[in-house]
């Protein structure tokens, strides 16, 4: 039999001639989560909290997540966020926040705390508020 002929054996296999996923794994298995998914979840949860704390100031705020900042190499350090007050926009840079936070990669609680603190500081810079006014658990 040549390759051009159809074969029941080759029909069930992909281009690599390997079998597909078994029915056990199939569609019921949750998709694998990436680090960026966890980062986005933390940022969204913190922004929900901040919009409850300062609804007037954050009503039309736009939050954009980038992988890396597009800053010139002449600037010292690496930016974690950038605020554009004219456009009412906060730009967060995921990789510097995750990788330069000086924390253990397996410590999810500390990683969450680092991300939340960056979001709070960036929003505080945008609104002109003190970051402690925006912190969770603060009595008002």
Hey, what domains does the chain have and what are their CATH numbers? 35-134 (3.30.2010)
For the ranges 5-9, 44-48, 61-65, which has the lowest average pLDDT?
A: 5-9
Alpha helices in 54-127 (DSSP H): 55-58, 94-99, 108-127
pLDDT in tens, 50-94: 999 899 989 999 999 999 998 888 888 889 999 999 999 999 999
**Angle at CA of residue 60, ends 47 and 134, nearest 5°:** 35
Per-residue confidence band for 15, with pLDDT thresholds at 50, 70 and 90: low
State the pTM of this model. Answer: 0.71
Per-residue confidence band for 10, with pLDDT thresholds at 50, 70 and 90: very low
The chain-wide mean pLDDT, for the chain, equals: 79
Pick the closest to residue 43 from 90, 101, 86 (CA basis). 90
**Cα separation of 67 and 41, whole Å?**
15
- E-only strand ranges, 1-140: 62-66, 81-84, 89-93
- The more confidently predicted of residues 7 and 55 is 55
Q: Position of tokens 């990789």?
A: 95
What is the model's pLDDT at position 136? 73
């Amino acid at each position: 039999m040549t390759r051009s002929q159809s074969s029941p054996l080759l029909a069930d296999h992909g281009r690599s001639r390997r079998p597909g996923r078994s029915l056990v794994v199939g569609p019921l298995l949750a998709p694998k989560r990436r680090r960026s998914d966890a980062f986005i979840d933390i940022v969204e949860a913190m922004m929900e909290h901040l919009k409850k704390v300062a609804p007037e100031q954050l009503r039309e705020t736009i939050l954009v997540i980038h992988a890396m900042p597009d800053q010139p190499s002449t600037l010292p350090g690496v930016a974690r966020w950038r605020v554009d007050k004219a456009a009412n926009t906060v730009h967060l840079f995921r990789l510097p926040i995750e990788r330069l936070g000086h924390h253990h990669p397996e410590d999810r609680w500390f990683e969450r705390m680092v991300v939340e603190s960056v979001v709070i500081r960036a929003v505080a810079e945008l609104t002109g508020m003190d970051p402690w006014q925006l912190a969770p658990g603060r009595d008002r």
